[in-house]
Amino acid sequence: MFGLLKRMFEKKVPKVERLPFYDIVCPYCFSKFHHEAVVFRAAHHRDDDETLALQEDEILNQYREKFGLSPIDELEAVIELSMIPDENKLYSNKVLMGVTDKYSVVTKNRLCPECHNDLPITAGKHPSNIVSIVGATSVGKSVYMTSLIYTLQRKTANNFDAACIPLDNTISRRFRQEYEIPLFENGSLLESTRTTRRQEPFIFQFVFKNEEQPPLTLVFFDVAGEGMTDKEYIKLHASHIKNSAGILFLVDPMQIRTIREKLIFQMGENPGKIVGEADEPREVIISLFGDFIAHQETNKTSIPTAVVLTKSDLLHALKAEDGEYIRHNSNVFRNVSHRDYLNLDEYENINGEIRRFLEKVDIAFVNALDAYFKDTSFFSVSALGSNPVDQQVSGIISPIRVDEPFIWLLYKLGFIEGRQEQ
């Protein structure tokens, strides 16, 4: 009887009404537009017709230049919708998916009108849900992103009857060669992303095997941390944040001045990699506020934001029986696996514990979060399970709770349910 009553009061995600179509957010430049504002790449070229001859795509090359990519000399022409009569426009479930050109050749290669990159095939049919990772320099964004995607592909997706798939082979190769192999196969710590190294986003799709479930497009933008407090840099890179469906806001314990010296002292003679002092978490919030939060109607953003305390393995240096900061039996040190739904008991335990911890060590940061964000939850993760020494990870990499913030975002966006333990 008790179990029946408990299930009746479980926090389930309300069924979201599906719309016939959705605005598209480009996963490359993060522009937002109507599905009938797309342009198309021609499926063929003709030497006897200037409008369909091979040509330079100046808009695409301008985008590529921003990221230090070499220009492409010639491509098939871009077809504007103004060139196509209505009867030659092809729709699927009320979404514009293709056009037939004047030579009766069909193309379904949709492009973003702002940057001319290819759009995902699901664009317009489902919400463009983008997840952004932000945080100050040396917080571990690159390492966390690598550990998260690695875990999503090998464990989390299977737990939710889904698959985590790169958008294309180029992204797959780049992620594996530059991130996964160095970290998980060679045990080498990734270098911090530099502001001079402008990099295209990593785009993955979290695709559910149930065809009635829409996919979730994941866009991980490996933004240099120091850029998060630089006005010019944030203008170039952070437009993706305001069009995000969810934010992973990373906080390094070593950024928090009240415990930094204590952590270094407790680590002893071989502390591993100790990052230099960086911008405090509150300064990153101030930058985000000036860039886009202040322009919201209520001076707050309603984007669900997971506040993620990284490098949680460092907190072993603070644990004590009296629990001044962290207790020996803290949830922080225990890995948790969510399957089929978000375990609300586990989530509420870690959310409450990390919020109380941050209130104790950096109340100014928590107050700033409460002032500018409507919907936050608190998590702790260890992307590696231990602190690297001399840029190398010793032993087997054992991530702790790395996917939990992402699973909470799945819950907040209506992809999965949340349940109490039976």
Is residue 250 a contact partner of residue 144, using CB atoms and an 8 Å limit? Answer: yes
Mean pLDDT, the chain, integer = 82
Of residues 104, 178, 156, the one with CA closest to residue 340 = 156
Could you tell me which CATH number the domain at 131-419 has? 3.40.50.300
What value does the mean pLDDT take over residues 86-103? Answer: 95
Backbone angles phi, psi at 416, to 5 degrees: -135, 165
Q: How confident is the model at residue 232 (pLDDT cuts 50, 70, 90)?
A: low
Q: Which residue has the higher pLDDT, 18 or 213?
A: 213
pLDDT in tens, 41-89: 999 999 999 999 999 999 999 988 877 788 999 999 999 999 899 999 9
Q: Which range is least confidently modeled, 58-67, 105-114, 313-322?
A: 313-322
How do beta strands 24-25 and 32-33 pair? antiparallel
Is residue 219 a contact partner of residue 201, using CB atoms and an 8 Å limit? Answer: yes
SS in 3 state form for the chain?
A: CHHHHHHHCCCCCCCCCCCCCCCEECCCCCCEECHHHCEEECCCCCCCCHHHCCECCHHHHHHHHHCCCCCCCCECCEECHHHCCHHHEEEECCEEEEEECCCCCEECCEECCCCCCECCCCECCECCCCEEEECCCCCCHHHHHHHHHHHHHHHHHHHCCEEEEECCHHHHHHHHHHHHHHHHHCCECCCCCCCCCCCCCEEEEEEECCCCCCCEEEEECCCCHHHHHCHHHHHHHCHHHHCCCEEEEEECHHHCHHHHHHHHHHHCCCCCCCCCCCCCHHHHHHHHHHHCHHHCCCCCECCCEEEEECCHHHHHHHECCCCCCECCCCHHHCCCCCCCEEEHHHHHHHHHHHHHHHHHHCHHHHHHHHHHECCEEEEECECCCCCCECCECCCCCCCECCCHHHHHHHHHCCCCEEECCC
Six-digit token pair at 236? 């170039």
Round to whole Å and give the CA distance between 37 and 280.
41
Q: At what angle do helices 363-372 and 281-291 cross, to 10 degrees?
A: 20
Round to whole Å and give the CA distance between 5 and 1.
6
Spell out the residues 6+ positions from residue 275 whose beta carbon is closer than 8 angstroms to its own. 138, 252, 254
Boundaries of every domain in the chain: 24-111, 131-419
Give the per-residue pLDDT at 348.
Answer: 96
Range 60-67 contact pairs with CB under 8 angstroms and sequence separation of 24 or more: 60/115, 60/116, 60/117, 62/115, 63/28, 63/29, 63/115, 63/116, 63/117, 66/198, 66/236, 67/198, 67/199, 67/200
User: Model's pTM, two decimal places?
Assistant: 0.82
Is residue 148 a contact partner of residue 403, using CB atoms and an 8 Å limit? Answer: yes
Cross-strand pairs, 250: 308
Round to whole Å and give the CA distance between 242 and 232.
16
Six-digit token pair at 335? 């890995």
Six-digit token pair at 334? 């225990």
Q: How confident is the model at residue 5 (pLDDT cuts 50, 70, 90)?
A: very low
Give the per-residue pLDDT at 9.
Answer: 43
Give the per-residue pLDDT at 228.
Answer: 47
Give the per-residue pLDDT at 201.
Answer: 78
Q: Which range is least confidently modeled, 110-114, 171-175, 229-233, 319-323?
A: 229-233
Going from the C-alpha of 414 to that of each of 159, 205, 270, 338, 374, the distances in angstroms are: 17, 16, 45, 16, 17
Cross-strand pairs, 41: 78
Six-digit token pair at 301? 């953003």
Is residue 247 a contact partner of residue 128, using CB atoms and an 8 Å limit? Answer: no
Count of Cβ atoms closer than 10 Å to residue 331 Cβ:
18
Q: Indicate if the pLDDT at residue 340 is higher than 70.
A: yes
Of residues 362, 379, 382, the one with CA closest to residue 255 = 362
Q: Indicate if the pLDDT at residue 16 is higher than 90.
A: no
Round to whole Å and give the CA distance between 313 and 302.
31
